[in-house]
Amino acid sequence: DTFPSSNIVEATINDGESIIALEEFADRILQFKEQTLYIINVSQDIEFLEDVHKFKGVSSPASVCKTDYGIAWANKHGCYLYDGRAVINLLEKGGRKTIKDIGASIAGTWENFNFTSGNAHTPQIGYLPKKRQLLVVDDNTTTGLGRVFIYDMVTQSWITGAALSITSNVLTNFVNDSKGELLWAHTSGTATLNQWSDGSQSSNSVEILTKDIDFGQPGQRKKVYKVYLTFRGDASNALVNYG
């Protein structure tokens, strides 16, 4: 093939940032730089820069993946999805944050998920097509603890996994095989190939955090007189605390 020198698409040059990843979705090219996302429209004879999103860049190609909903990626500021029309912040739902930016607890806070003892992480993201879920790992090097966040595209909700949910080691990018399974390798001596599995396991400690229940009217004072909590367990040692 011959590629003429005139066949060049230039979004923004000499901005001090390097191109980290490129993805295409429908008739758009997503150019991820270190701090900025550029969306390039290629639907017409002449390509043009359609939109610029500051602080939506990535630090590694491992932080970007393709889904049947669009292009998903994660950085220190959050997790996002481009659906062909707009960039959606997956940490928000209905105008409210579903995950705190910062907090005392590691679980459920995005900043602590992205930092360990002051060391910044490079989040890694993959897609589970069978369950329509995104899997985000805190880091693709030994700096992280192997914690994960899982986002369900259908329910638009998050769950978190404890440390060592994925081996804390140098990881390859996530890839999907011909069956849609999510695979990766890590360097523990010799390269070891892994497949994600979320089979059920027993646990003696389960914590469920709900949103603030305001009955649809956050500005109005309510009085709650009774709450029913129903659970199932071994009556000999089951203990439920609530707040």
Residues in Cβ contact with 128 at an 8 Å cutoff, skipping those fewer than 6 apart: 134, 135, 180, 182, 196
- Rounded to an integer, what distance in angstroms lies between the CA atom of residue 198 and that of residue 211? 24
CB 153 within 8 A of CB 133: yes
Angstrom distance (rounded) from CA 22 to CA 24: 7
Its pTM stands at 0.80
Q: Taking residues 15-35, what's their average pLDDT?
A: 93
The most confident of 74-88, 100-114, 139-153, 188-202, by mean pLDDT: 74-88
- Distance (Å, rounded) from C-alpha 160 to C-alpha 103? 15
Q: Quote the pLDDT of residue 238.
A: 67
pLDDT at residue number 187: 74
Model confidence at 183: pLDDT above 70? yes
Mean pLDDT of the chain: 86
Residues 6+ apart with CB under 8 A from 182: 126, 127, 128, 135, 174, 175, 176, 195, 196
* 193 DSSP β-pair partners: 185
Residue 128: pLDDT band (50, 70, 90) is very high
Q: Which residue has the tokens 């190939």?
A: 193
Q: What is the pLDDT of residues 63-76, one digit of tens each?
A: 999 999 999 999 98
pLDDT tops 90 at residue 60: yes
- Band (144; pLDDT cuts 50, 70, 90): confident
Q: How many angstroms separate the CA atoms of 55 and 64, rounded?
A: 15
Q: How many CA atoms lie within 13 A of 61 on its CB side?
A: 9
Give residue 127's pLDDT.
97
Does residue 116 have a pLDDT over 60?
A: yes
